[in-house]
């Protein structure tokens, strides 16, 4: 998908597009003949135009023009990107951990959300910066207060799976006004959900940076 956003085509690539628009579907050999070039010479140009989405190719048929603008192609690509392509490693704490330990973990791991797991290593809660800040303002001892008292519990946890679309996850983050979602897979123990990753606003930002840099391929 390289160069999807504002690809700068060479004069020859523009000429190839014009030929395909007028004559498609057309084979690579026929295009080469019209340009008085060899098929091998055109192969890199055809590959670029196909990967960028300007052209499509069908075996034994040839190349044809997709008729899509750069923004349309970009939109289609974004809508097909899944969580598994951008998820990061989850940071978890035990439900028996103290609030003090959770604060230390959040600071050391430099994350804004912690996932709370039970003895089966399955998801039972979520801790945000706000949860820990709220607890630290109170008069109770943080070293003896378990995170289970202040965490958001199941079934009030918004989750996602690795096959979910990133655009759907972004909408959940906005709608719920939260910083991160646990990426889970179903299991037959504990809460029934094992945490296998996390999707955060930072992950979404990484996607935007890749799009702007044409790094999605």
Query: 105-115, pLDDT tens digit by residue?
Result: 999 999 999 99
Q: 83-209 has which fold? A: CBS-domain (3.10.580)
DSSP SS3 for 128:
strand
Query: 154-193, pLDDT tens digit by residue?
Result: 889 999 999 999 999 999 999 999 999 999 999 999 999 9
DSSP per residue, 94-108: ETTSBHHHHHHHHHH
Write down the pLDDT at residue 35. Answer: 93
Task: Kindly list the domain boundaries of the chain, sorted by start residue.
Answer: 11-68, 83-209
| Res. 198: pLDDT tops 90 | yes
CA-atom Rg of the chain in angstroms: 25
| Torsion (CA) 166, 172, 174, 179 in degrees, nearest 10 | -80
| Res. 4: pLDDT tops 50 | no
Write down the pLDDT at residue 216. Answer: 46
Query: 60-80, pLDDT tens digit by residue?
Result: 888 988 876 555 666 667 778
Q: Which CATH number fits domain 11-68: 1.20.120.80, 1.10.3720.10, 1.10.10.10, 3.40.640.10?
A: 1.10.10.10
Domain 11-68 matches domain 83-209 at the CATH topology level: no
CA distance linking residue 6 with residue 110, whole number of Å: 35
Write down the pLDDT at residue 217. Answer: 42
Contact call for residues 24 and 50 (beta carbons, < 8 A): no
């Amino acid at each position: 998908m390289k160069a999807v956003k504002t690809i700068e085509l060479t004069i020859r690539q523009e000429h190839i597009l014009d030929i395909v628009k007028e004559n498609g579907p057309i084979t690579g050999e026929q295009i080469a003949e019209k340009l008085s070039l060899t098929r091998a010479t055109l192969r890199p140009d055809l590959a670029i135009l196909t990967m960028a989405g300007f052209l499509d190719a069908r075996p034994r048929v040839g190349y044809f023009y997709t008729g899509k603008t750069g923004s349309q192609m970009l939109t289609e690509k974004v809508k097909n990107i899944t969580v598994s392509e951008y998820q990061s490693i989850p940071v978890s704490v035990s439900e028996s951990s103290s609030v003090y330990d959770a604060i230390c973990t959040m600071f050391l791991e430099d994350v804004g959300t912690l996932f709370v797991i039970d003895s089966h290593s399955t998801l039972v809660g979520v801790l945000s910066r706000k949860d820990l800040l709220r607890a630290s303002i109170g008069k109770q001892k943080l070293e003896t207060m378990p995170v289970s008292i202040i965490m958001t519990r199941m079934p009030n946890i918004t989750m996602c799976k690795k096959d979910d679309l990133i655009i759907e996850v972004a909408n959940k983050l906005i709608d719920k006004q939260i910083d991160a979602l646990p990426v889970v897979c179903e299991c037959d123990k504990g809460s029934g959900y094992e945490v296998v990753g996390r999707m955060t606003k930072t992950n979404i930002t990484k996607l935007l940076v890749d799009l702007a840099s044409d790094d999605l391929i």
